[in-house]
Amino acid sequence: MNLIGQYDSPFVRRVALALRFYGIPFKQTPWSTFGDAEKIAVYNPLMRVPTLVLDDGEVLIESNAILDHLDELAGPSRAMIPDCGHVRREVLHVCALATGLADKAVSLLYERVLRGEESKRWVERCRAQIAGVLAVLESERAKITTRYWFGDQLSHADIAVACVVRFTREAHAGLFDAARYPSLDSHAATCEALRPFQEIVQPLAPPN
């Protein structure tokens, strides 16, 4: 398998971490959505990452769709999400909040570094959405006493939240205050201490 994208993307990183935790061999092609857009377009007309090229040439796009395939490969007993039921919906809910937050954090970064003049209204909206999701995630995580979000086993929700916390902290230092979100900060630290997290990581390199 060939994973296209760089690990400073929370979307690419969550896929790479799932591959590593599942023990699925893969190689990474660290193309940038801006610097290597034409190369990515050969596989994904949206020119977005992550893009996963399977061994038979089939191409999967969008992190949730890719993870769905990886879960099938891992099998129900090893998948980092239940195959049905209430807990599955809860995991997907947390993942949706985390990836939605990531989408807004990425948009806000692009607004800052790519536009000559920021749209005040758009920036304020993104900041409000980011703050709102962080508050909800903090409140939910504060109620949980287990090591991970849904018990003692790592889930896609844990990975998604840890990845977006790191990205938000690096991309928008003023938007993530550990004192304001202590449960999320602790959760991210627990995940980042795991070897795969330490191996699959890249300092943020914004487009220019």
pLDDT digits (tens, 9 = 90+) for 70-118: 999 999 999 999 999 999 999 999 999 999 999 999 999 988 887 766 7
pLDDT of residue 115: 72
pLDDT of residue 116: 65
Which domains occur in the chain, in start order? 2-79 (3.40.30.10), 86-198 (1.20.1050.10)
For range 131-159, the mean pLDDT: 97
Percent of the chain whose predicted confidence (pLDDT) is above 90 = 89
134 burial via Cβ count (<10 Å: 0-12, 13-18, 19+): buried
Task: Answer yes or no: are the C-beta atoms of 189 and 182 closer than 8 Å.
Answer: no
Task: Answer yes or no: are the C-beta atoms of 4 and 51 closer than 8 Å.
Answer: yes
Percent of the chain whose predicted confidence (pLDDT) is above 70 = 99
Helix (H, G, I), strand (E, B) or coil at 175: helix
Task: Answer yes or no: are the C-beta atoms of 33 and 121 closer than 8 Å.
Answer: no
pLDDT-wise least confident of 11-20, 165-174, 185-194? 165-174
Using CA atoms, how far residue 169 sits from 8, 92, 145, 166, 185, in Å, is: 12, 23, 24, 5, 10
Structure tokens at 50: 């992550």
pLDDT digits (tens, 9 = 90+) for 52-67: 999 999 999 999 999 9
For range 179-186, the mean pLDDT: 98
Task: Answer yes or no: are the C-beta atoms of 150 and 9 closer than 8 Å.
Answer: no
Structure tokens at 207: 């487009």
- Taking the C-alpha atoms of residue 194 and residue 187, their distance in angstroms, rounded to an integer, is 12
pLDDT of residue 43: 98
